């Protein structure tokens, strides 16, 4: 009966002072008492162990936060890598195009000169810039044969004139 009385008092004390229902978590409670026994019920050792546990808990939380921050950085860096890889691919295509055009005589200087000429023609004829190149190419395509024939006539007339 004394053990039952002791248990009843312990149960009441734990509930009233700490809101712990011992019957719901008896295994955890016995582990705590056993840990206290391991330290010979020496309060300073128990408190030291408890403070170390709190410190470790804080360290774990801090490390989780750091891990999350680092994972966010990794995500940002991976997105940057994908973006940069896309740009590299685009620039490789541009370089390949220039490598293909250069042997034909269409280097950067000539392409720039062609663009400036087309822009001047477009401006002089009130053609919007975004329509200038397609219109120029269409005109060349449609008028190429006529222009070649016209050049022959001009050359023959020059020769006659001379």
pTM recorded for the entire structure: 0.45
Query: Does residue 22 contact residue 14 with C-beta atoms inside 8 Å?
Result: yes
Domain residue extents for the chain:
107-162
Q: What is the DSSP letter of 25?
A: S
CA distance 34 to 54: 19
Q: What is the pLDDT along the chain (162 residues), one digit of tens a residue?
A: 898 898 889 889 888 988 888 888 778 777 777 777 777 777 677 677 778 888 999 999 999 999 999 999 999 999 999 999 999 999 999 999 989 998 998 888 999 999 999 999 999 999 998 899 999 889 888 877 677 777 777 888 889 999
């Amino acid at each position: 009966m004394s053990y039952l009385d002791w248990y009843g008092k312990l149960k009441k004390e734990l509930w009233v002072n700490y809101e712990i229902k011992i019957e719901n978590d008896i295994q955890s409670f016995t582990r705590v008492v056993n840990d206290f026994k391991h330290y010979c019920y020496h309060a300073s050792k128990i408190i030291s162990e408890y403070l170390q546990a709190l410190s470790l808990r804080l360290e774990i939380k801090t490390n989780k936060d750091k891990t999350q921050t680092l994972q966010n950085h990794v995500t940002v860096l991976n997105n940057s890598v994908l973006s940069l890889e896309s740009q590299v691919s685009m620039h490789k295509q541009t370089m390949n195009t220039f490598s293909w055009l250069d042997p034909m005589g269409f280097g950067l200087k000539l392409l720039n000169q062609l663009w400036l000429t087309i822009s001047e023609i477009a401006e002089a004829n009130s053609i919007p810039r975004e329509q200038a190149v397609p219109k120029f190419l269409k005109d060349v395509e449609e008028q190429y044969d006529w222009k070649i024939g016209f050049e022959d006539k001009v050359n023959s007339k020059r020769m006659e004139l001379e």
